[in-house]
Amino acid sequence: MVAELAFSANDLAQLRFAVSPMWEIAPSFRLLTSDAGSAHPVHRRWVEQVRPRVLAAGLDRGWLAELIPPAGYVPDFLNPAPAGPAPTPAQELAGILASPGARVRQDLDHLKHHQGTLGPRLRTLYAEPQARMPRVVEAVEAYWQLALAPYWARIRAVLDADVFHRARQVAEHGVGHLFNDLHPSMRWEDNVLRVVRRQRTLSRRTSGAGLVLIPTAFTGATLRTRVTRPDPPQLAYAARGVGTLWEPRPVTGIAAIAAVLGRSRTQLLTELETPASTTELARRTGISTPGVSQQLTALREAGLVSAHRAGRSVLYARTAVAESVLAAGSR
């Protein structure tokens, strides 16, 4: 099957990129809850760290387990149209919460068509979309905070780099070159974007103007689309550089950084190559737990560390600012 999306001058004028946290929810959840995740060539280290926390929180048995089947269609309301180039998780969650009841029921009908039935939670959502949608948003936010937020600075750097590369392609070679390089199944010919081996239609009759291109870390080799009027069609693809996303990044120049931040804070930033709790950091570094807590508070106030609730504990992670500081010290 070949899907075709025609472009007018107006559509090309509204072509844009967006980095969307919500587009990472479904594919990452599938990876965590499948046997393939344990042996995934790219994301295995992330799966090993995150899966125990997801299972302990019961997120594999709640709303997301019914909304995101192991394969196939995912309700479109989970991916609201990005309002800008980089919407925050809170903005996108608000978009999900504001989904019209008719839209929710239409998506659930489509899910039932593919899956044969709806789970008990989804049946209540179908009956009372406005009343039940806050529970859906609560589950998505809990998953985001536990599984993706502590790693978002690292993921976001890869996605931003992809957008920069693609924008340069457009500037130097034009939109046609961008489309032909984006994915092997895509071809740009005669003002029409053709995508082969597509199960869902991709048509101007069922979508708004323009096109939103969304690089993702977890989509893999498959293109994913959202086509819902009046929003522009969305096309999610695997970002360049994902293959090196979880590779260890040794930090050199420790002495220079420690001269500015202090030895303990520099040591903690180095240890936060992977997100960790206060107790775990104390065990790794030999610094007392109160001492770790004090230093983390200072680093957080300086914008170098972020904190994320994970059940009864808190995970600390390096921010993009901290990554820049460590990279500068390593030159």
pLDDT in tens, 80-100: 999 899 999 999 999 999 999
User: Do both 264 and 300 map to the same domain?
Assistant: yes
Residue 172 belongs to a domain: yes
103 shares its domain with 48:
yes
Clarify whether residues 170 and 229 are in a common domain.
yes
Mean pLDDT of 126-141: 96
7 confidence band (pLDDT: 50, 70, 90): confident
Residues 42 and 96 in one domain: yes
Residue 311 has pLDDT above 80, yes or no: no
The pTM (predicted TM-score) of the whole model is: 0.87
Give yes or no for a contact between 111 and 26, defined as CB atoms under 8 angstroms apart. Answer: no
- Shared domain for 125 and 187, answered yes or no, is no
Maximum CA extent, the chain:
66
Is residue 129 left, alpha or beta, with left meaning phi > 0 and alpha meaning psi from -120 to 50?
Answer: alpha
Residues 11 and 62 occupy one common structural domain = no
d(CA 282, CA 289): 5
Q: Would you place residue 313 in the very low, low, confident or very high pLDDT band (cuts 50, 70, 90)?
A: confident
Same domain as 161, residue 14: yes
Q: Are 32 and 151 in contact (CB under 8 A)?
A: no
**pLDDT above 70 coverage of the chain, percent:** 96
Is residue 171 domain-shared with residue 263, that is, in the same domain? no
How many structural domains is the chain composed of? Answer: 3
* pLDDT tops 90 at residue 6: no
Question: Does residue 42 lie within any of the structural domains?
Answer: yes
Question: Which two structure tokens, joined as six digits, stand for 215?
Answer: 């690089």
pLDDT, residue 19, reads: 96
Task: Specify whether 137 is located in the same domain as 123.
Answer: yes
217 domain-assigned:
yes
Of 120, 148, 176, the domain-final residue: 148
- Does 270 share its domain with 318? yes
Q: Looking at residue 155, what is its pLDDT?
A: 95
Phi and psi for 65 in degrees, rounded to 5?
Answer: -65, -30
- Say if residue 118's pLDDT is above 90: yes
On whether both 162 and 104 belong to a single domain, the answer is no
Which tokens go with 12? 């090309």
Of the candidates 224, 267, 176, the one whose C-alpha atom is nearest the C-alpha of residue 72 is 224
* Of 242, 264, 283, the domain-final residue: 242
pLDDT at 200 over 70: no
Domain that holds residue 302: 254-329
Residues 235, 181: Cα–Cα separation, whole Å = 14
Asked if the structure places residue 247 within a domain, the reply is no
CATH of the domain at 307: 1.10.10.10
Same domain, 160 and 177: yes
Low-confidence winner among 142-146, 179-183, 256-260 (lowest mean pLDDT): 256-260
Higher pLDDT, 182 or 36: 182
